[in-house]
A and B are shown apart, each in its own frame.
Chain A
């Protein structure tokens, strides 16, 4: 946001960014209503040529408003963006109305594999199999097809296996703002620290940055 300040010596009138709540509130609501995927604050600010802090403030107002007035939808902050979803208590109503009977569930094996990737990323298939003690190729394929994991380069060892990491769809599905928000049982946190200790410490933030890039680039 600091870069928004005009540089000294640059000509032209200082551009006024929108800060008025009464202008931003309905506009942001419209933008979020029209988007299926979470929209980042940066994208909202750009779209409205608005001040970043004002956008953040408006979002928290919108969220409170949805919560207070007992509305059917709520505003959630996931995968580095914001989106409207229905409230959980209307699930059975909606399922009946839309005639949705069964939901695709992730198998225990898939959830195990996903948990390992989430906490140990970037990680290769042989490393996953080492932990699970069982062939995990088909499970990994399922997770890949469901777009919950993706490749992240190759490990420079014999056979150069693919590294895998979680995607922004993973963050959305599990309601996480970012990877750092993963619940950290003490032991798992230790593991994470041990893994990070080997690699450059910036690995998690790089992954988040990559996830963010995907948000911007992805459809």
Chain B
């Protein structure tokens, strides 16, 4: 049984890309340490696993997020094993779920190895090459598979896109901030305060509401209005301040 130190010195022996995923790496660590899946010394394995991720980063390999996620899970399990159980809490091994996943994954990994053997053996059997059978003279029967259809559809859409490049689309700028500033000020001069969210809600277009909102912010910046909210998450009210409003102020900031 290797000591922790010896095991750590073994790290660089392994081609990192050779792992097909974080569970594969974890299984490998369990195997080289001659450990039992059902009784993993989490602390030791977590250290080694983290050391692998560090080595991967040093070699400038992208450490896929899934590897990091499993590292986090290991640390979480480790912390749960260190913590005393709450009195009366059911006795449950924090490693239980991980063990089940590892066992399931290992079974499929073994099957994949069997598949590989069968595939290698059978690659040596040569079938008759696919030769197109001459088409029937009436040309009526056509046998296609789903794959042929997908391929045909892809070709058609590619050709269509090539022949019909998307037209240049010009959209009018329909709303302007200065126009909305004027509108807001006019409304405020009429009636004192204005519920802003309700006002925005009357807009027909998203762009219009955004423009009006920007207008309100701009008015605050210019010191022409004040926003206040009587309750958290409630309606926002707009009122005029005493500062005089002039067209120049708007024209200075926004030229349409």
**B92 touches A (CB below 8 Å):** no
**Residue of chain A at shortest CB distance from B101:** A133
Q: How far is the CB of B26 from chain A (nearest CB, A)?
A: 9
Query: Given A36-B130, A86-B126: A114 and B118 within 8 A (CB)?
Result: no
The residue in chain A whose Cβ has the minimal distance to the Cβ of B116 is: A111
**B128 contacts A135, C-beta separation under 8 Å:** no
Name A63-119 residues within 8 Å CB distance of B.
74, 76, 83-88, 90-91, 94, 103, 105-109, 111-112, 114-116, 118-119
Interchain CA distance A52-B188 in the complex, whole Å: 92
Q: Are A133 and B66 in contact (CB under 8 A)?
A: yes
The answer on a CB contact under 8 Å between A132 and B21 is: yes
Known: A88-B121, A103-B123, A133-B105. A119 touches B111 (CB 8 A): yes
Give every chain A residue within 8 A of B122 (Cβ-Cβ). 173-175
Whether the Cβ atoms of A85 and B125 lie closer than 8 Å is yes
Q: Is A13 an interface residue (CB 8 A)?
A: no
Contact of B105 with A131 in the complex, beta carbons under 8 Å = yes
| Segment at the B interface, from A19-27, A181-189, A199-207 | A181-189
Asked whether, in the complex, the Cβ of A131 is within 8 Å of the Cβ of B104, the reply is yes
- Given A116-B108, A135-B66, A185-B107: A36 in contact with B127 (beta carbons within 8 A): yes
Check B126 against A85 for contact (C-beta < 8 Å). Answer: yes
Which single member of B23, B118, B147 contacts A132 (CB below 8 Å)?
B23
- With contact pairs A106-B119, A111-B116, A175-B118 given, residues A188 and B111 touching in the complex (Cβ less than 8 Å): yes
Instruction: Decide if B124 touches A150 in the complex (CB within 8 Å).
Output: no
> Contact string, B84-111, partner A, CB cutoff 8 A, digits 1/0?
0000000000000000010011011111
A188 to B123, CA, bound (A): 25
Q: Which of B101, B109, B123, B143 contacts A217 (CB 8 A)?
A: B143
Closest to B123 in A: A103
Chain B nearest CB from A192 CB (Å) reads 11
Give every chain A residue within 8 A of B21 (Cβ-Cβ).
109, 132-134
Least CB distance, B99 to chain A, in whole angstroms: 14
> Counting CB contacts under 8 A, is A17 at the interface?
no
Query: B143 touching A115 by the CB < 8 A rule?
Result: no
Residues from chain A with Cβ under 8 Å of B129 in the complex: 36
Q: Which residues of B contact A135 (CB under 8 A)?
A: 64, 66
Interface centre among B18, B23, B111, B123 (most CB of A within 10 A): B111
Q: Which of A12-36 contact B (CB under 8 A)?
A: 33-36
Task: Please tell me if the beta carbons of B108 and A147 are within 8 angstroms of each other in the complex.
Answer: no
Tell whether A187 pairs with B125 under 8 Å between CB atoms, given A111-B115, A219-B144. no
B112 touches A112 (CB 8 A): yes
| Known contacts A133-B22, A134-B20, A115 near B126 by CB under 8 Å | no
Closest CB in chain B relative to A134 CB, distance in Å: 3
B145 is an interface residue with CB less than 8 A from chain A: yes
- Closest CB in chain A relative to B108 CB, distance in Å: 5
Taking a contact as CB atoms under 8 Å apart, the answer to whether A115 and B20 are in contact is no
Contact B111 A185 (CB under 8 A): yes
Of chain B, the residue at the smallest CB distance from A130 is B101
User: In this assembly, does A218 line the interface, its C-beta being within 8 Å of a C-beta of chain B?
Assistant: yes
Q: Is B54 in contact with chain A by the CB < 8 A criterion?
A: no
Closest CB pairs A-B (n = 6): A134-B21, A91-B124, A111-B112, A115-B111, A85-B125, A86-B126
